[in-house]
């Protein structure tokens, strides 16, 4: 078990970076003309994404020169998640870039720290509402310093769920089948536009269920926050043998414990897994 004081210091460092990056992106949107571009012709990226990414990764490199970094904008090499020999930081400078570009408040800075493929520390900061979620392994989860807990939902029919959809529209049929099954068997859907906040909202009881296919930088920090808030975290599909489950982004399912098993069955059947 890692030194708890060390992990708390890591979380404090991650929170400080997230708060400063959050102020950077808030100020950039409110005070300057928004500059945008596209990655791979489909995915929106703003100048603020790159600025915040460079700030966070630069600070990590300076303090921990031997650590590796997996970040969405400047170092999006997913093979980093498979190399478990040295500590790994997983960074999303703006989760919810489309929301950011359109002036919506559901935007987050996400910073996670992993050792041996296991996420030990996570911070998700939403700069516009001023909400900071954080967790350190085995020490619980908080929102602005106050402990948080999942909703306690125990019936899918009475549960509010969230999911998302990819920028590329080539293979939407499986996602639509899952959505059709869920919308018929749950209370309602919320499409928030930030995976990190979706998961944190499960952690604090604003949502009951979240599922999606996403990248490690979208969910790594929030997944630990939900886990430390008592939610059940896992997958409705299979995790490849030898791959760290904490960083596997396909078929993620995070929910209040009482609905996890029935929802997993709904999603597996809709996906043709059983």
Q: Is 49 annotated as a binding residue?
A: no
Q: If pLDDT is split at 50, 70 and 90, which confidence band does 3 have?
A: confident
What's the structural domain count of the chain?
Answer: 2
Same domain, 195 and 176: yes
Q: Is 72 annotated as a binding residue?
A: yes
Same domain, 119 and 200: no
Same domain, 175 and 122: no
Q: Is 246 annotated as a binding residue?
A: no
Same domain, 238 and 108: no
pLDDT confidence of residue 18 = 98
Report whether 154 contacts 46 (CB < 8 A).
Answer: no
User: How many beta carbons lie within 10 A of that of residue 261, not counting itself?
Assistant: 11
Same domain, 133 and 193: no
Query: Partners of 132 in the beta sheet?
Result: 125
- Tell me the pTM: 0.94
Q: Is 218 annotated as a binding residue?
A: yes
Same domain, 139 and 160: no
CA distance 270 to 71: 32
Looking up residue 61, the CATH number of its domain turns out to be 3.30.540.10
Query: Residue 43's domain spans which residues?
Result: 4-147
Looking up residue 265, the CATH number of its domain turns out to be 3.40.190.80
- Considering Cα of 194, then 21, then 76, then 12, what sign does the dihedral take? negative
Same domain, 22 and 43: yes
Domain boundary among 81, 116, 147: 147
Report whether 31 contacts 177 (CB < 8 A).
Answer: no
Q: Is 92 annotated as a binding residue?
A: yes
Q: Looking at the predicted structure, is the pLDDT value of residue 146 above 60?
A: yes
Same domain, 119 and 11: yes
Question: pLDDT tens digits for 59-82?
Answer: 999 999 999 999 976 666 777 777
């Amino acid at each position: 078990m890692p030194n708890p004081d060390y992990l708390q210091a890591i979380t404090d460092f991650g929170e400080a970076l997230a708060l400063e990056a959050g102020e950077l992106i808030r100020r950039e949107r409110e005070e300057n003309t928004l500059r945008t571009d596209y990655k791979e012709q489909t995915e929106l990226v703003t100048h603020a994404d790159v600025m915040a990414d460079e700030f966070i990764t630069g600070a990590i490199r300076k303090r921990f020169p031997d650590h590796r970094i997996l970040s969405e904008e400047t170092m999006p090499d997913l093979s980093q998640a498979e190399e478990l020999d040295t500590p790994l930081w997983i960074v999303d400078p703006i989760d919810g870039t489309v929301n950011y570009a359109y002036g919506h408040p559901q935007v987050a800075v996400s910073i996670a720290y992993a050792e041996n493929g296991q996420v030990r520390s996570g911070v998700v900061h939403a700069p516009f509402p001023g909400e900071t979620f954080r967790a350190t392994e085995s020490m619980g989860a908080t929102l602005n310093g106050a402990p948080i807990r999942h909703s306690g939902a125990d019936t899918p029919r009475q549960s509010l769920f969230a999911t998302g959809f990819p920028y590329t529209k080539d293979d939407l049929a499986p996602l639509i089948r899952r959505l059709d099954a869920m919308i018929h068997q749950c209370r309602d859907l919320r499409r928030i536009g930030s995976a990190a906040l979706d998961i944190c909202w499960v952690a604090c009881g604003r949502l009951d269920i979240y599922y999606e296919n996403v990248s490690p930088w979208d969910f790594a920090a929030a997944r630990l926050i939900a886990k430390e808030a008592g939610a059940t975290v896992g997958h409705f599909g299979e995790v490849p043998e030898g791959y760290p489950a904490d960083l596997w982004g396909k078929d993620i399912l995070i929910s209040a414990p009482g609905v996890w098993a029935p929802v997993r069955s709904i999603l597996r059947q809709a996906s043709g897994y059983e």
